[in-house]
């Protein structure tokens, strides 16, 4: 079969970022299917490239987390039109696989179904429009009504829906009769377990945040944690922030105002460079702003951390906390004092035990082969 995979932010390991779609597309290819991907990039021109057997159509359409909300929406709308036009040039498509966010990607799938009779599977990575509504980004009642109507239409017209977490699945099944499958993000154990040399560490314990630095991620809390540790002379702990986003400049300023010597900021890195940095990292910090809608999140970095065998620190209620606490692969702390007290109580064997439990969870529930095998079955 030929599958048209639509993902606005498709990435490969050499680029870094979330590479779930790369894993899934490769699994389809290895199962004997033909895969063409429509995505976007920030370059001035559009082009098509074959990557490891995958035909990838890169559409020129600038996007950054640092854009204003209005400019982001405009970028989403441009992608709908450009991706739809590109989709029309892909012949003999048997299935369309459209993955959010944003929710607007579902409009492309709807157009292909209504106008060209293409069946589609819709993947839900975040609960849009619930997340921006919950965060107060979208407040107009008329717009909220339209977006919820669009969400239901996309769900109802899909042949199947893929949710990335159990709470996402619970939310979706309340809104549609379409069959929903829960396929969380992927732990690529073979990749992350390849040994790398750390080199010289700046402190005995490194706690790191990796990923987008936006309002939803509340990385400012990690800077507050660092300030709390420094004030108390806990010099054995340093904190790394690896990534980019709208809030990063403010965080750097905040760290400077606090005169922190235990925080270091890094630019985004690819997966291979990140694996080298992981050799120095002792615990991964997974943070979100305290909104109920964000408790359903399924962040790629969480699963990379499990596969790396790293202790996890989460600051939000929900299913991620349940995984960490129930399987004893880390701790929950929603403020600096709480995390400080827990870190001070840890012995060397505790760090090792948390890491071993993290790797066990990765193998048991989120291993790449397990998730991709379930995924490929969706197209049978």
DSSP per-residue codes, 24-71: HHHHHHHTT-EEEEEEEESSSS-EEEEETTEEEEEEE----TTS-HHH
For the chain, what is the largest distance between any 2 Cα atoms, rounded to a whole number of angstroms? 65
CB 133 within 8 A of CB 351: no
Q: How far apart are CA 261 and CA 239, in angstroms?
A: 10
| Whole-number pLDDT of residue 25 | 98
pLDDT tens, 269-325?
999 999 999 999 999 999 999 999 999 999 999 999 999 999 999 999 999 999 999
Confidence at 27, pLDDT banded by 50, 70, 90: very high
Q: Which of 218, 306, 8 is nearest to 128 (CA)?
A: 8
Do residues 329 and 312 make contact, with C-beta atoms less than 8 angstroms apart? Answer: yes
- What's the pLDDT at 352? 96
Q: Of 195-209, 255-269, 366-380, which range is least confident?
A: 195-209
Residues in the chain: 380
d(CA 267, CA 225): 21
pLDDT class for 35, splitting at 50, 70, 90? very high
Q: Nearest Cα to 11, choosing from 63, 67, 85, 73?
A: 63
> Strand 47-51 and strand 54-60: pairing?
antiparallel
Confidence of residue 173 (pLDDT cuts 50, 70, 90): very high
Distance CA 327, CA 179 (A): 29
**Is residue 125 scored above 90 in pLDDT?**
yes
Distance CA 16, CA 10 (A): 10
Taking CA atoms, 185 is separated from 122, 182, 188, 240, 323, in Å, by: 15, 10, 10, 24, 14
Instruction: Report the interhelical angle of 220-231 vs 248-257 (nearest 10°).
Output: 20
Question: What is the predicted pLDDT for the residue at 380?
Answer: 85
Confidence band for 74, pLDDT divided at 50, 70 and 90:
confident
pLDDT recorded at residue 319: 97
Which neighbouring-strand residues pair with 242?
210, 266
pLDDT band at 265 (very low <50, low <70, confident <90, very high): very high
How far apart (Å, rounded) are the C-alpha atoms in residues 91 and 95? 11
Which pLDDT band holds residue 63 (cuts at 50, 70, 90)?
A: confident
> What is the percent of the chain where pLDDT is above 90?
89
| CATH numbers and ranges of domains, the chain | 2-183 (3.40.50.2000), 190-365 (3.40.50.2000)
Which DSSP category does 334 fall into? S
Q: What is the pLDDT of residue 114?
A: 95
Q: pLDDT at position 110, please?
A: 98
Task: For residue 42, name the pLDDT band (cuts at 50, 70, 90).
Answer: confident
Cα–Cα distance, 33 to 5 (Å, whole number): 12
Is pLDDT at 379 greater than 80 in this prediction? yes
Confidence label for 16 from pLDDT (cuts 50, 70 and 90): confident
Which token pair is 374?
């379930």
- Is the per-residue pLDDT at 228 higher than 90? yes
Residue 153: which pLDDT band, with cuts at 50, 70 and 90?
very high
Model confidence band, residue 62 (pLDDT cutoffs 50, 70, 90): confident
Rounded CA gap, 20 and 366, in Å? 12
Q: What is the residue-averaged pLDDT of the chain?
A: 95
**DSSP structural state of residue 271:** H
pTM: 0.94
Tokens encoding 166? 């159990």
Q: What are phi and psi of 228, to 5 degrees?
A: -65, -45
Report the C-alpha gap between 337 and 88 in whole angstroms.
56
Burial classification of residue 309, based on how many CB atoms lie within 10 Å of its CB (0-12 exposed, 13-18 middle, 19 or more buried): buried
**3-state DSSP assignment of residue 166:** helix
Mean pLDDT, residues 204-230: 96
Chain segment 95-105, per-residue pLDDT in tens? 999 999 889 99
Instruction: Report whether pLDDT(70) > 90.
Output: no
Is pLDDT of 66 > 80?
A: no
């Amino acid at each position: 079969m030929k599958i048209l995979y639509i993902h606005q932010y498709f990435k490969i390991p050499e680029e870094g970022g979330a590479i779930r779609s790369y894993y899934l597309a490769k699994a389809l290819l290895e199962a004997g299917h033909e895969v063409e991907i429509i995505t976007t990039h920030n370059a001035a021109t559009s082009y098509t490239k074959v990557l490891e057997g995958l035909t990838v159509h890169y559409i020129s359409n600038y996007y950054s987390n640092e854009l204003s909300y209005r400019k982001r929406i405009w970028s989403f709308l441009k992608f709908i039109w450009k991706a739809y036009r590109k989709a029309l040039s892909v012949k003999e498509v048997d299935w369309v696989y459209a993955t959010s966010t944003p929710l607007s990607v579902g409009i492309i799938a709807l157009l292909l179904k209504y106008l060209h009779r293409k069946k589609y599977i819709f993947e839900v990575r975040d609960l849009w429009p619930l997340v921006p509504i919950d965060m107060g980004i979208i407040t107009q009642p008329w717009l909220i009504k339209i977006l919820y109507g669009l969400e239901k239409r996309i769900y109802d017209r899909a042949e199947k829906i893929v949710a990335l977490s159990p709470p996402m699945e619970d939310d979706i099944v309340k809104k549609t009769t379409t069959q929903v499958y829960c396929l969380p993000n992927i732990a690529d154990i073979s990749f992350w377990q390849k040994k790398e040399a750390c080199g010289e560490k700046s402190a005995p314990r490194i706690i790191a945040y990796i990923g987008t630095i936006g309002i939803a991620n509340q990385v400012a809390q990690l800077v507050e944690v660092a300030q709390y540790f420094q004030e108390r002379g806990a010099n054995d702990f340093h904190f790394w922030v690896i990534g980019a986003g709208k809030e990063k400049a403010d965080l750097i300023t905040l760290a400077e105002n606090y005169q922190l010597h235990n925080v270091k900021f890094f630019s985004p890195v690819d997966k291979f460079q990140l694996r080298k940095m992981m050799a120095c990292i002792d615990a991964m910090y997974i943070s979100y702003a305290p909104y109920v809608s964000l408790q359903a999140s399924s962040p790629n970095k969480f699963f990379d951390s499990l596969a790396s065998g790293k202790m996890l620190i989460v600051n939000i209620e929900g299913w991620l906390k349940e995984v960490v606490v129930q399987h004893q692969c880390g701790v929950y702390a929603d403020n600096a004092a709480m995390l400080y007290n827990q870190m001070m109580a840890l012995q060397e064997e505790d760090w090792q035990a948390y890491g071993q439990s993290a790797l066990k969870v990765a193998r048991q529930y989120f291993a790449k082969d397990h998730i991709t095998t379930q995924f490929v079955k969706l197209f049978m």
